[in-house]
Structure 1
């Protein structure tokens, strides 16, 4: 799996923790860190979402202060679904139900050990398009294509 990761300055500490975890994980083939000094959360979110949309990476992790700004920004890229999640139920639902390719977290909201545990779960999760949420994801994609 190829994963992009990114954060502005107010997410750098947690981003570095997660990046290290991903680099050391055998399920991950490559980690592309899109962070740069002075990058804004919208800019890094757009970059990551564009990489996902173009098929250059399979998924992305975005970190900001709360995880909300990165999700809002990433969701502006057509065909991308980003979700803010800080608990097991939401992480699982984001992928299994809604096929979210981008996981957003807040450095001010979640401790690094718990974030690593959620990322560990997230790496194994898959969306089943034949499940009950498949038609709903299709409905969202259809609406988006007419925008």
Structure 2
């Protein structure tokens, strides 16, 4: 799996901890860090989302202060679903139910050890196209296409 990761300055510490974990995980083939010292959360979010749309990455992780700004910005890229999640229920739901390609977290919300534990679960999650949510995702995609 190829994972794009990024954060502005207020998410750099958590992003670095998550990046180190991903680089040591056998399930991850490549970690592409789009962070730069002057990156804004919208810019890094748009770039990460576009990398997924363009096929350069399979999934993404974005970190800011709360995870909310990055989720909003990344979701503006057509075809991307980004979700802020800080616990097991929302991390699982983001992928299994909503097929979110990007996981967003907040450095001011979650400790690195907890984020890495959730990341371990996230790497194995897959969307269930036969779930009750599948038709709702079609409805969202149709609206987005208009």
Q: Could you tell me how far apart the structure 1 residues matched to 2:86 and 2:71 are?
A: 13
TM-score, normalised on structure 1? 0.98
Asked if 1:67 corresponds to 2:60, the answer is: no
Asked if 1:114 corresponds to 2:122, the answer is: no
Q: For residues 9-28 of structure 1, what are the structure 2 equivalents within 5 Å?
A: 9-28=9-28
Report the alpha carbon displacement of residue 53 of structure 1 after superposing the two structures with TM.
1.0
The 4+ residue runs of structure 1 with deviation greater than 2 A are none
TM-score, normalised on structure 2? 0.99
Give unpaired runs (5+ residues) of structure 1: none
Q: Could you tell me how far apart the structure 1 residues matched to 2:55 and 2:135 are?
A: 22
1:35 is aligned to: 35
Q: For residues 1-147 of structure 1, what are the structure 2 equivalents within 5 Å?
A: 1-146=1-146
Give unpaired runs (5+ residues) of structure 2: none
Residues 99-127 of structure 1: CA deviation (Å, up to 9, x unaligned):
00000000000000000001000000000
Q: Could you tell me how far apart the structure 2 residues matched to 1:137 and 1:126 are?
A: 15
Report the alpha carbon displacement of residue 131 of structure 1 after superposing the two structures with TM.
1.3
For the residue of structure 2 that corresponds to 1:62, the secondary structure is strand
Residues 20-70 of structure 1: CA deviation (Å, up to 9, x unaligned):
000000000000000001100000000000011111100000000000000
Q: Could you tell me how far apart the structure 2 residues matched to 1:85 and 1:12 are?
A: 17
Aligned-CA RMSD value: 0.4
Aligned residues: 146
